[in-house]
Structure 1
Amino acid sequence: MIQVENLQKTYRTGFLMRPKKALSDVSFHVPRGVIYGFIGSNGAGKSTTIKLLTGLLRKDAGKILVAGFSPDSAESRKHLGYSPEQPYFYDYLTGRELMRFYGSLCGLAGRELEERITWALTLLNANKDWVDRRLRTYSKGMMQRIGIAQAILSKPELLILDEPMSGLDPVGRKDVREAILSLNRDGVTVFYSSHLLSDVETISHRVAMIVGGKIVREGTVDDITSNASAEYHIHVAADIPTQDLPAGVSAQGTTPREWICKNAEARDHFLEFCLKSGLSIERIEHQRPSLEDVLTEEIARAEH
């Protein structure tokens, strides 16, 4: 559904218009029918990539195909629904009037339009009394729901969302997650960026991690986290003096019977130490890193 190869983008900033590389040889492929998470730190290139996919920016080099078409062509937009991170709408309209306006741009009218509006609002749990109030009175969360609702009015094959859960409370995040999953079950491919990595782990089939304008990891959540360093939490039956510990082992909290081994090598040395000291092991817990742990590790590696 999305093909990106060797994508490059440079901005010119400041008084002297010095070039600043935003994307460098970015490549990834989004298969049809998947939920694809796009994660990274602020300024890593997520929004730039999304704007290139939607035709809002022009690339410097590389290849982009969206549903088999260049983002510059009107044909690609027939297959696409899009909600930006900070949607801006004419704030004297009500939410329902906004939906009617965008529905008409999609070629909907009459009863079909009203039924599609009801469907979209209901899916986002936004079919409330506030939908008939002016947009200028909306909270960030209400605006996010309306933004996503207008993006799905045309029932697109591909839905691109930039930080769709930003500004939402826990209930709102749950509603958006369930809406994404429901759309995907109906065959919609979803490409979205998010800082809420626990949500990304929960719903994504595949994930790309971008750091400093480069893709550093790509694959399923299991692929990404299983290839990262894992911690081992070991609980022993007696206190251990901290000065006797092998390298790579630290106390968990203030309890001298619970220890964290940073990797398998530290685990093995710690177990050997416990065996020689006559200490009984109560249990060992293998703690696989989360996406947040992996991303933090990649950012730290890039900074050094």
Structure 2
Amino acid sequence: MPRSFPTNPMLAVEILGLEKTYAIGFWKKKRKDGLKSLHLEIQQGEVFGFLGPNGAGKTTTLKLLMGLISPTAGTARILNQPWHDPAVRARIGFLPEQPYFYDHLTPIELLDYYGTLSGISAPDRRLRIPKLLERVGLAGQGGTQLRKFSKGMLQRVGIAQAVLHEPEVVFLDEPMSGLDPVGRREVRNFIQSLNREGKTVFFSTHILGDAEALCHRVAVLNKGELRGISVVADLTSQNRSRFEVVWQATAAIPAMRAFGNETHVAGEVARTIVRESQLQAALEALKSQSAQLISVNPVGGSLEEYFLQKLGEPDKVPR
């Protein structure tokens, strides 16, 4: 869980009517709204989750804040400075959704290069880089070429790059993308450690479990529009009305899918999220299929319900 909700009156990020419209089509005469008049305030020391399905406008928002694309209208401030002010760049870190690195380099070489660009002295680089690789779960991998890394390992290198210069605000676009369960836990722990250090973390995700575990507040974005903002603790304190049923025996999958479309399979083990009213029937269905029940655990359905309510499209549940 994140540390107590910050009360620092200074805003880390202030977004004022930010809009982005794209010209599309062969003649570029059609218009598509990537972001519609976004207003948002993020406090210093807060972990803020930006939720939404693919194409919601999350990456567009982050690219605008990073100055990678220009807004059609509106403005923003980061740490009380205009978002396009070069001076603010030294105080923020950024992980794009799909980071690209020269794959002939090793993590140590790559981070040393970025550290040099950030003005970090050689002694400080030698001190920080090994510690940082250990914190993101890559201890012992510092001398391996990046071309030999998995997508999840590259993602962790990207996170290390984003915080090497010890920024005050860290922007992460889908930081859990491509990570296995162990990697996700390590990155979660790392984000929590950044928060304990007083840093502000603004990250986009479509995985509600990550947002529930890490965030003070979340915003729901869909089709370029802000649908709602809520304090996570207020949502998850409500009664839990859903359960995760884990079982072994894939023959039972068709029967379990009758209870909802949230069934996930990994090898011989499958998981289904069912409502409390369906739980007994689901367990009986497993028994009738001679499936081995592994566990039944309550899940925080309130955040999911809030998301679906604001999304207005109940079939598009984040996976």
Could you say whether these structures have the same fold, taking a TM-score greater than 0.5 normalized by the shorter chain as the test?
yes
- The structural deviation recorded for 1:138 is 1.2
The partner residue of 1:158 within 146, 155, 169 is 169
Partner of 1:261: none
Partner of 2:46: 34
1:110-157 per-residue CA deviation (whole Å, 9 max, x = no partner) reads 2211111122112112122x3212111211011001000011110000
Distance 1:254 1:192 in 2: 37
Contact kept in structure 1, 2:242 and 2:276, CA below 8 Å: no
Partner of 2:193: 182
Partner of 2:21: 10
Distance 2:68 2:87 in 1: 15
Partner of 1:121: 133
Partner of 1:149: 160
Partner of 1:168: 179
Partner of 2:272: none
Contact kept in structure 2, 1:120 and 1:150, CA below 8 Å: no
- The structural deviation recorded for 1:287 is 8.9
- The structural deviation recorded for 1:290 is 3.2
Distance 2:100 2:299 in 1: 42
Report the TM-score, using the length of structure 2 for normalisation. 0.74
Q: Return closer, same or farther for 1:13/1:255 CA change in 2, 3 Å cut-off.
A: same
Give the counterpart letter for 1:38 in structure 2: F
Contact kept in structure 2, 1:68 and 1:76, CA below 8 Å: no
Distance 2:240 2:132 in 1: 42
1:148-176 per-residue CA deviation (whole Å, 9 max, x = no partner) reads 00111100000000000100000000000
Distance 1:192 1:232 in 2: 26
1:213-235 per-residue CA deviation (whole Å, 9 max, x = no partner) reads 111111211445689x98699xx
- The structural deviation recorded for 1:299 is 2.8
- The structural deviation recorded for 1:51 is 0.5
Distance 2:240 2:178 in 1: 32
Distance 2:194 2:106 in 1: 25
1:56 aligns with 2:74: no
1:47 aligns with 2:59: yes
Structure 1 spans left out of the alignment, 5+ residues:
234-248, 259-285
Match runs of 1:167-246 below 5 Å: 167-223=178-234
Q: Return closer, same or farther for 1:152/1:287 CA change in 2, 3 Å cut-off.
A: closer
Q: Bigger CA drift: 7-16 or 158-167?
A: 7-16
Partner of 1:95: 107
Distance 2:242 2:127 in 1: 54
Contact kept in structure 2, 1:218 and 1:224, CA below 8 Å: no
Distance 1:26 1:159 in 2: 20
Q: Return closer, same or farther for 1:194/1:95 CA change in 2, 3 Å cut-off.
A: same
Give the counterpart letter for 2:170 in structure 1: L
Contact kept in structure 2, 1:158 and 1:191, CA below 8 Å: yes
Report the TM-score, using the length of structure 1 for normalisation. 0.78
Give the counterpart letter for 2:278 in structure 1: Q
Contact kept in structure 2, 1:211 and 1:302, CA below 8 Å: no
- Match of 2:81, SS? coil
Distance 1:21 1:170 in 2: 35
Q: Return closer, same or farther for 1:251/1:183 CA change in 2, 3 Å cut-off.
A: closer
Partner of 2:291: none
1:22 aligns with 2:34: yes
Match runs of 1:268-279 below 5 Å: none
The partner residue of 1:71 within 60, 67, 83 is 83
Structure 2 spans left out of the alignment, 5+ residues:
1-11, 244-274, 285-297
- The structural deviation recorded for 1:254 is 6.7
- The structural deviation recorded for 1:295 is 2.1
Contact kept in structure 1, 2:221 and 2:311, CA below 8 Å: no
Distance 2:90 2:242 in 1: 50
Distance 1:37 1:294 in 2: 14
Contact kept in structure 1, 2:130 and 2:142, CA below 8 Å: no
- The CA RMSD measured in Å over matched residues stands at 2.7
Contact kept in structure 2, 1:230 and 1:288, CA below 8 Å: yes
Contact kept in structure 2, 1:225 and 1:294, CA below 8 Å: no
Contact kept in structure 1, 2:106 and 2:143, CA below 8 Å: yes
Contact kept in structure 2, 1:5 and 1:28, CA below 8 Å: yes
